Amino acid sequence: MTEVTTLDHVVIRFAGDSGDGMQLTGNRFTHETALAGNDFSTLPNFPAEIRAPAGTVAGVSSFQLHFADFDIRTPGDRPDVLVAMNPAALKANLADLPRGGLIIADTADFTPRNLAKVGYGSNPLTDGSLDDYQVHAFDLSGQSTAAVAALGLGRKEAVRTKNMYALGLLDWLYSRPVDNTITFLEHKFAKAPEVRDANIAALKAGYAFGETTEVFTNRFKVAAAPVPAGTYRQISGNRALAYGLMAGAAKAGLQLFLGAYPITPASDILHHLASAKAAGVLTFQAEDEIAAIGAALGASFAGQLGVTATSGPGLALKMETIGLAVMLELPLVICDIQRAGPATGMPTKTEQADLTQALYGRHGEAPLPVIAPQSPGDCFAAAFEAVRIAIDYRTPVILLSDGYLANGAEPWEVPDLAALPAIDPNFVTEPNRPDGEFWPYLRDEKLARAWAVPGTPGLEHRIGGIEKADGTGAISYDPANHEFMVNLRAQKVAGVGAIVPPLDVEDPSGAAKLLVLGWGSTYGPISAAARRVRASGRNVATAHLRYLNPLPANVEEVLRSYDRVIVPEMNLGQLAMVLRARYLVGVQSYSRVRGLPISLSELAADLIELIDLDEENAK
Amino acid sequence: MTTTTPAANGGLAGVPLSLTPLTRKDFTSDQEVRWCPGCGDYAVLATFQGLMPQLGIRRENTVIVSGIGCSSRFPYYVDSYGMHSIHGRAPAIATGVAMTRPDLAVWVVTGDGDALSIGGNHLIHALRRNVNITIMLFNNRIYGLTKGQYSPTSEQGKVTKSSPAGSVDRPFNPISLALGAEATFVARTVDSHRAHLTEVLTAAINHPGAALVEIYQNCPIFNDGAFDPLKGAEGGLIPLTHGQPITFGPDAAKGAVRDVAGHVKIADVAEVGLENVLVHDAHAEDPGLAFALSRLTDTEGLRTSPIGIFRDVQRPTFDDLARAQLTVQADPAERLEKLQQQITGTDTWTV
């Protein structure tokens, strides 16, 4: 008789060859998790190569899911359970599995040849090297193939159902109903009935195997997490970002125009918006990154909302056009889904090393607002905010997401669009001078310039990259005017600070001497690490920057109120450098550039060590 | 910016017509024109300001986008909407304007360096897509604004400050390039031939889709007389007129014929007979013959060169096709409702 054990949280990692369907398996399990009411966070990890050589470590694709009965912040550092579909998957992921962890392995691929390919001299499943773990090794491929034998698939296709068989087994192990995945498969393979039936049969067979085999002494259950009432869905960062852009454009009554060139990990934004024809979104897959932003700027000039989405290498190519947008003072949203660089770097791995590029990467004095979302779902609100600022202030805005947010997913309370604030493009339709002239560079109290769009009679005017005379916008090479305009553009962007909320510090004890300050996607690891530090009886304060430019007005005051400030970043200390330069304060950089999110356990341990050291020194 | 007033046809379909007649003055801005004395750009500007009122469209629905270079100062001098952008990118920017605003007549002003060197990629892609824009390519075969370096259309061996021993670059033939990109409208004209310039530009802006017009334009400072061999008494310009035999020179004594290998060459009409001279067909679907005609330009010496409309064929425009895929609701409330449904998705749970 199998017992059901209740757990508060579990981290499962599905790992296999890139062709094994691990991302799909992970996504389905996540969906079932969402329906079970757990809080969750996911981390897909896949090679840049579409089909790396089969059975190699380089070709391993994995999907990690953390689910719990409480509010969690990260996909977890280390899995409790590793599902390894081949020797390479075991080899690549074993180091992350704590001793005592559960391994579920498909023995079918543990052949001498495949073992040798990844450097195993003998079979780890049988040679005793995994004695410190709980190993459950089954011929998942063979059992799945047998389960679908009657359905008339070829051998190759029959074996491919093994991921659904594994999912069925995990569904049983974690007490999840399979109905929803069956509906999903019916829909996905509606046009290929044999494939549909085989996948469903494999899923059910995997579940039944769990039920009938007596290998597992325990089943697990994770209760629903308490969350505010509302309608929820699962959402990835890139999807949320696309929706935020659409919502912003809709609230402004403008057509959303996306100019983009395919680039990992930003391409999904192009995909999501390309399928938003019913919302009137125009997408333009350009010949290159430069044309992509050029067309977006053209759309903004024409009175619509121009947006471009890219990653670091593309942002570098777009810089000249962003400088033009600064000069033209037109709305433009530039989404940079950061990845590990420089150069091609590691396209599918995450990093935050484009911060200084976003802030300072243009020639001339070309300031612009920079905003960073802190979680996948938050990409919606951050994108909406970027649209609002771009339109209200007639400025390009850079939105700094990253690969971790882009592909990660979490539960998300669906916003009510009607409740979102309206955005007013405030087009000028009449002359704005007493003499009946129109001056395109007359400004409102926010210093935003008059925006008249083509088609408006009487307001014909020319704008361009050459320095503008204040007010009229005519070409000017006057030295004093240039200095005035450089300062004016800087003041306008600094003025966005008026709508930037103060930096909020979380310090439940009120007695913390150490502040951990982050930005962007480090929110999850930082807040989870702080929770662990506090649970150990120590005090730590945390704060998170959403606006990187302009910074909240109280940042200096906050920084100066702590003995020690740690700034964890997935770069070599870019925000730390900005803070030191700006405020002459001694902040300490905590830098990790491994292409992976900062490890919460490592950060928590390091924070505890620092707190204890400071305490010791204070004695 | 939708309108219920009558609109023009062809490439200007969707652009509202002016309710009052316009004049050249309406298209003249208050900016002082600052090209060098004698620059060919003056003639093109004057011709442009003369033809615009004839189109009948509203001035405020005209947009001129330019890149960087002498010619790219053009928008400042025309009293319409305009953008002087960055080097080489005008076709890309104009693509965004054209896609989002079918009610605008969109011109691109560019030069040989702007369009064919730094902006070569954008030019060929705008042409292959058939975006509804009209590109005026001012070709003076030199970099003027940067003071006289050889350009991608300069002849090989050209001595300039950046090529003191003679340029070793092979020049582009812009017409061949445009035809290679399968542009639907490709033409060449000359700055000093006002009537021809007017005729070609008018046809270009009325063409639905991407139109490329190469304008031979004299730079009196850095490349003066570059086109003189063509304009001499020998008559090296080969006028192309749809439906007419391709003859040129004094007494139309020379003509374009196919040789036995299928190439196009120049022959004495008296020798081959007028019946064997090619009759120009600008509407031929296959760009092959137009390409062969474009090769009659000897890019080195520039003693012969066809002018006129090489190709003018109808194909759906890129921007029309892109807009046709939209299934957007006209009513804003309904649109927001649809968006709410999309954002909500089908797999939700309620707490």
Q: Report the distance separating Cα B138 and Cα B43, nearest Å.
A: 12
Determine, for residues A303 and B31 on separate chains, whether the beta-carbon distance falls below 8 Å.
no
Determine, for residues B29 and A462 on separate chains, whether the beta-carbon distance falls below 8 Å.
yes
* B211-254 confidence digits (pLDDT tens): 999 999 999 999 999 999 898 777 899 999 999 999 999 999 99
Minimal Cα–Cα distance from A287 to chain B, Å?
7
> Given A34, A257, A291, which is nearest B125 (Cβ)?
A291
Q: Report the distance separating Cα A451 and Cα A325, nearest Å.
A: 13
Q: Determine the residue of chain B that is closest to A290 in CA distance.
A: B89
Structure token digits, residue A241: 């970002």
Determine, for residues A418 and B339 on separate chains, whether the beta-carbon distance falls below 8 Å.
no
What pLDDT sits at residue B54?
A: 96
Residue spans of chain A under pLDDT 50: none
> Given B92, B100, B344, which is nearest A291 (Cβ)?
B92
What pLDDT sits at residue B6?
A: 54
Backbone dihedral angles phi then psi of residue A500, each to the nearest 5 degrees: -85, 120
Determine, for residues B81 and A287 on separate chains, whether the beta-carbon distance falls below 8 Å.
no
Query: Are A222 and A34 spatial neighbours (Cβ–Cβ below 8 Å)?
Result: no
Q: Determine how many CB atoms are found less than 10 A away from the CB of residue A605.
A: 15
Q: Report the distance separating Cα A147 and Cα A140, nearest Å.
A: 10
Structure token digits, residue A194: 């044999």
Determine, for residues A298 and B97 on separate chains, whether the beta-carbon distance falls below 8 Å.
yes
What pLDDT sits at residue B260?
A: 87
Minimal Cα–Cα distance from B97 to chain A, Å?
5
Determine, for residues A301 and B93 on separate chains, whether the beta-carbon distance falls below 8 Å.
yes
> Given A292, A321, A418, which is nearest B86 (Cβ)?
A321
Q: Which residue has the higher pLDDT, B271 or B349?
A: B271
Task: Return mean pLDDT, chain B.
Answer: 94
Instruction: Kindly state the DSSP code that residue B115 receives in the 8-state scheme.
Output: I
Taking 50 as the threshold, does the pLDDT of residue B2 lie above it?
no
Judging contacts by C-beta atoms under 8 Å, the chain B residues touching residue A254 are none
Closest C-alpha to A60, from A111, A4, A17: A17
Q: Which residues of B247-275 are buried (b: 16+ CB within 10 A; e: fewer)?
A: bbbeeeebbbbeeeeeebebbebeeeeee
* A115-174 confidence digits (pLDDT tens): 999 999 999 999 999 999 999 999 999 999 999 998 888 888 999 999 999 999 999 999
Judging contacts by C-beta atoms under 8 Å, the chain B residues touching residue A34 are 347, 349
Judging contacts by C-beta atoms under 8 Å, the chain A residues touching residue B98 are 298
- Residue B9 pLDDT class (50, 70, 90 cuts): confident
Judging contacts by C-beta atoms under 8 Å, the chain A residues touching residue B340 are 416-418
Work out the end-to-end distance of chain A between its first and last CA atoms, rounded to an integer number of angstroms.
Answer: 57
Determine, for residues B92 and A295 on separate chains, whether the beta-carbon distance falls below 8 Å.
yes
> Given B62, B68, B327, which is nearest A278 (Cβ)?
B327
Work out the end-to-end distance of chain B between its first and last CA atoms, rounded to an integer number of angstroms.
Answer: 44
> Given B89, B323, B327, which is nearest A321 (Cβ)?
B89
Instruction: Kindly state the DSSP code that residue B316 receives in the 8-state scheme.
Output: -
Q: Determine how many CB atoms are found less than 10 A away from the CB of residue A134.
A: 14
Q: Determine the residue of chain B that is closest to A281 in CA distance.
A: B326
| ipTM score | 0.96
Q: Report the distance separating Cα B99 and Cα A295, nearest Å.
A: 9
> Given B31, B96, B339, which is nearest A246 (Cβ)?
B339
Residues with Cβ within 8 Å of residue A247, at least 6 apart in sequence: A380, A384, A415, A417, A420, B339, B343
What pLDDT sits at residue B3?
A: 40
Q: In what order do the strands lie in the sheet with A409-413?
A: A409-413, A231-236, B348-350
Alpha helices in chain B (DSSP H): 40-55, 90-100, 112-113, 120-129, 174-180, 194-206, 228-231, 269-272, 288-294, 318-324, 332-344
* B121-178 confidence digits (pLDDT tens): 999 999 999 999 999 999 999 999 999 999 999 999 999 999 999 999 999 999 999 9
What pLDDT sits at residue A1?
A: 56
Query: Are B305 and B237 spatial neighbours (Cβ–Cβ below 8 Å)?
Result: yes
Q: Determine the residue of chain B that is closest to A254 in CA distance.
A: B100
What pLDDT sits at residue B181?
A: 98
Q: Report the distance separating Cα B175 and Cα A172, nearest Å.
A: 68
Phi-psi region of A277 (alpha: psi -120 to 50; beta: other; left: phi over 0): alpha
What pLDDT sits at residue A210?
A: 93
* B41-61 confidence digits (pLDDT tens): 999 999 999 999 999 999 999
Q: Determine how many CB atoms are found less than 10 A away from the CB of residue A6.
A: 10
Q: Determine the residue of chain A that is closest to B329 in CA distance.
A: A278
Query: Are B39 and B70 spatial neighbours (Cβ–Cβ below 8 Å)?
Result: yes
Instruction: Kindly state the DSSP code that residue A539 receives in the 8-state scheme.
Output: -
- Residue B1 pLDDT class (50, 70, 90 cuts): very low
Alpha helices in A189-304 (DSSP H): 193-212, 237-252, 267-274, 289-301
| Chain centroid offset of residue A76 CA | 15
What pLDDT sits at residue B7?
A: 56
Determine, for residues A227 and B351 on separate chains, whether the beta-carbon distance falls below 8 Å.
yes
Determine, for residues A462 and B86 on separate chains, whether the beta-carbon distance falls below 8 Å.
no
Is residue B135 helix, strand or coil?
Answer: strand
What pLDDT sits at residue A48?
A: 78
> Given A259, A296, A454, which is nearest B101 (Cβ)?
A454
What pLDDT sits at residue A514?
A: 98
